[in-house]
Amino acid sequence: MKVLGIETSCDETAVAVVEDGRSVLANLISSQVDLHARYGGVVPELASRAHVQAINPLMAEALDRAGCRFADIDGVAVTVGPGLAGALLVGVAAAKAVSLATGAELIGVNHLEGHIYANFLEHGPPEPPYVCLVVSGGHTLLVHMPEEHRYEVLGQTVDDAAGEAFDKIARFMGLGFPGGPALDRLARQGDPEAIAFPRAMADSGDYDFSLSGLKTAVLRYVKGELAAGRRPDPADLAASFQEAIVDVQVSKTVAAALERGVSTVLLGGGVVANTRLRERMEKAGAEAGLRVLFPAIELCTDNAAMIACAGASRLARGERSSLDVAIDPGLELAP
Ligand code: KG4
Ligand code: ZN
């Protein structure tokens, strides 16, 4: 079964072709990074327009790379939320058009479920239950999955998302936008223990996160150092900030898995591309006897192969969306 995946929830137009829910035959991304970089963030109206321009040629190229035609597609999986309304509409309209014209089954997919299902490309799903940490530009949440496609949100950020915190500090440090990857690279040359930033909510006894206090602590530290005539070392600053985020994420994820008696941990979302998070999570998982899975780096950030994978799994269970399926910018993971 070949599924065409379409993802346009934010600033990347992405199209993929995935066979049998696992084999990635094509996975293309038309990035709008340069378009939004000079504004220091994603401009929704510009994103929608760029999706409109990119989507048709990208679908044609993805089919070409996969060595197939529209007529060979059995299903169309598309992100219906969460995301920017105008951006989501472009992908959903394209998916409906393909479904209507070819008779391929349509399935709407939750973007966050896509990030989790990126783990199942290539190898398929391990036996549930799972505990999942989803960390992206817009989300930070810990989820218990008793079985496939069922979600119990254990906790989430009460303020900024992890990727948002990375991007804000990176911008403050002049590392460009989105700055997560640049901050990650810089941090590799620094000492994660150089500066003791607060571990917000580390001992709160729940699975929520808070990141805005850390952001303020970094700004205050830099101002204090400059006022005292000292120049903070950028690599130490990046490494110490990153460590404060990673510390809390790792400890809460491991605690949730142990408390729930779950032995498989899945990581998903753009921030899972972070070298230190992968390294620390792997080590902590091994120490706690947990199996920790994370997607290949290029499948952590937004892509359409993950949407095709989640959609293929739903289609295989007999689920379908009708041609009037609507977008939902605030869509949550359903129990
Ligand atoms: O999942 P994603 O591609 O888009 C959303 O759904 O939001 O995540 C993008 C976020 C950005 O904030 C970006 O800075 C962050 O993921 N990110 C990273 C790294 N690579 C991407 N953050 C830290 N370290 C990285 N290596
Ligand atoms: Zn995402």
- Residues 110-121: tens digit of each pLDDT: 999 999 999 999
Span 209-213, average pLDDT: 96
pLDDT at 40: 83
State pTM to two decimals. 0.97
pLDDT at 182: 97
pLDDT > 90? residue 165: yes
Kindly report the average pLDDT of the chain as a whole number.
97
Measuring from atom 2 of ligand 1, which residue has the nearest CA?
270
pLDDT > 90? residue 24: yes
> How far does the centroid of ligand 2 lie from the alpha carbon of residue 80, in Å?
13
pLDDT digits (tens, 9 = 90+) for 72-96: 999 999 999 999 999 999 999 999 9
For the chain, list the domains and their CATH numbers: 2-115+300-316 (3.30.420.40), 128-295 (3.30.420.40)
In the chain, % of residues over pLDDT 90: 95
pLDDT > 90? residue 290: yes
Closest ligand relative to 176 C-alpha: 1
> How far does the centroid of ligand 2 lie from the alpha carbon of residue 277, in Å?
17
> How far does the centroid of ligand 2 lie from the alpha carbon of residue 300, in Å?
8
Band of pLDDT at residue 104, cut at 50, 70 and 90: very high
Contact call for residues 144 and 155 (beta carbons, < 8 A): no
Distance, CA of 143 to CA of 133 (rounded, Å): 6
Binding pocket residue ranges, ligand 1, CB within 6 Å: 10, 136-138, 163, 166-167, 178, 180-181, 184, 269-271, 273-274, 301-302
Looking up tokens 């950028």 gives: 234
The type of residue at 217 is A
pLDDT > 90? residue 153: yes
Distance, CA of 129 to CA of 131 (rounded, Å): 7
Measuring from atom 3 of ligand 1, which residue has the nearest CA?
301
Closest atom, ligand 1, to C-alpha of 9: 6
> How far does the centroid of ligand 2 lie from the alpha carbon of residue 225, in Å?
35
> How far does the centroid of ligand 2 lie from the alpha carbon of residue 302, in Å?
5
pLDDT > 90? residue 177: no
The CA distances from residue 190 to 167, 227, 251, 275, in Å, are: 18, 22, 22, 13
Residue 277 burial (10 A CB sphere; 0-12, 13-18, 19+):
buried
Nearest CA among 27, 28, 30 for reference residue 13: 30
Report the chain's C-alpha Rg in angstroms: 20
pLDDT at 178: 87
pLDDT digits (tens, 9 = 90+) for 46-58: 999 999 999 999 9
Span 120-134, average pLDDT: 97
pLDDT > 90? residue 37: no
> Cβ of 298: how many Cβ atoms within 10 Å?
12
Closest atom, ligand 1, to C-alpha of 115: 1
Instruction: Indicate the top mutation candidate among 31, 33, 166, 249 to test ligand 1's pocket, ranked by most ligand atoms within 8 A of CB.
Output: 166
